[in-house]
Amino acid sequence: MSATEFSAGSGSGAGDHRPRPVVAVVLVAAGSGQRLGYGMPKARVPLGGEPILMHALRGVVASGVAQQVCVALPAGDGSLRQMCDDFKDELVDGGPLLTVVEGGGTRAESVRSALSALEEGTQAVLVHDAARALTPESVFLRVVDSLAAGALAVIPVVPVVDTVKTVEATRDDDARIAPEIVVGTAPREKLRAVQTPQGFDLDTLLKAHREVAGFSEAQAAAVTDDAMLVERLGIPVHAVRGASQSLKITTPLDLIIAEGLLEGPLGARWVEG
């Protein structure tokens, strides 16, 4: 596909006629799923009878925001690669280009692997966790609309319902009383839980990821999302509304909740338009 053909796919923002950038979605699916404990990569774990990755792929494509979807898979996973190949046949004319790469040992490495396979002409990138298999289309649209309005970085967020405290390990004598002691209470009204897809101007995200090259192993391990790399550059990160059904399937309980959402009376992508 040429850069010209690639650009031709970019549409207009729904209803407001703002031109949308040429968007690629990076779908990171290369994790091993240790906490889910299925003994297989999480992307392959069945949800409502289909692998988690299939749900995630369908959601991205249904949102209609992407000219390219680049999936980072666990190294050497022939079964997921085959599934992606089969999915290409489901894509109608005018649908996104589907690219597959091998992920890395950390999430950030998987993101970088996918970024290196984006088409010429890509202007913006959405980085999305395959583990958030039920993210509604509306969240993708809010993120892309914010990019179209000028954001260089934008994340979907939801309010935090629990009171959040910072703690430290208790020392010496006090350890008999309890393992940790509270050192502060965060102001809950200002806290947000962060989801994906996180949207970025492509050059901004590439620059943010280049900084990681100078990180120590501990610093690299602490990179849990892409927005924090952009924050380090001093670039504003904007926030739009996420959705509670966009949960990250991490533990067995999350999988039960996701199954429940799929089986609910209104289907998977119901609430919170």
Torsion of CA 27, 25, 95, 120, to 10 degrees: -120
**Residue whose entry in the numeric block shows the structure tokens 């101007």:** 201
Least distance from C-beta 175 to ligand CTP, angstroms?
A: 29
Answer yes or no: are the C-beta atoms of 157 and 242 closer than 8 Å.
yes
Asked whether position 242 contacts ligand CTP by CB under 6 A, the answer is no
Answer yes or no: are the C-beta atoms of 60 and 42 closer than 8 Å.
no
Which of 22, 30, 115, 141 binds ligand CTP (CB under 6 A)? It is: 30
Give the total of residues touching ligand CTP (CB under 6 A): 22
Structure tokens at 165: 């405290």
- Could you tell me which stretch among 92-100, 105-113, 146-154, 238-246 binds ligand CTP (CB under 6 A)? 105-113
Q: Which listed option, ligand CTP, Mg ion, none, makes contact with residue 13 (CB within 5 to 8 Å by class)? A: none
Asked whether position 99 contacts ligand CTP by CB under 6 A, the answer is no
Binding mask 169-198 for ligand CTP (x = CB under 6 A): ------------------------------
Three-class SS string for 203-246?
HHHHHHHHHHHHCCHHHHHCCCCCHHHHHHCCCCCEEEECCHHH
Which of 22, 25, 28, 97 binds ligand CTP (CB under 6 A)? It is: 28
Q: CA–CA distance from 103 to each of 84, 112, 223 (Å)?
A: 14, 8, 16
Binding mask 45-74 for ligand CTP (x = CB under 6 A): ---------------------------x--
Answer yes or no: are the C-beta atoms of 39 and 83 closer than 8 Å.
no
Structure tokens at 214: 């100078």
- Closest to 56 (Cα-Cα) out of 47, 172, 15: 47
| Residue 53 or 230 having the CB closest to ligand CTP | 53
Binding mask 106-125 for ligand CTP (x = CB under 6 A): xx--x---------------
| Residue 22 or 125 having the CB closest to ligand CTP | 125
Asked whether position 10 contacts ligand CTP by CB under 6 A, the answer is no
Asked whether position 129 contacts ligand CTP by CB under 6 A, the answer is yes
| Residue 20 or 128 having the CB closest to ligand CTP | 128
Task: Please report how many Cα atoms fall inside a 13 Å half-sphere around the Cα of residue 95, on the Cβ side.
Answer: 17
Q: Which listed option, Mg ion, ligand CTP, none, makes contact with residue 255 (CB within 5 to 8 Å by class)? A: none
Reported residue count of the chain is 273
Least distance from C-beta 273 to ligand CTP, angstroms?
A: 24
Binding site for Mg ion (CB under 5 A): 31
Give the 3-state secondary structure of residue 160: coil
Question: DSSP class of residue 91?
Answer: P
Question: Nearest residue by C-beta to Mg ion?
Answer: 31
Sequence-separated (6 or more) residues with CB below 8 Å from residue 181: 167, 168, 169, 170, 174
Least distance from C-beta 31 to Mg ion, angstroms?
A: 5
Which residues are near ligand CTP by CB under 6 A?
A: 28-35, 42-43, 72, 103-107, 110, 129-131, 248, 250
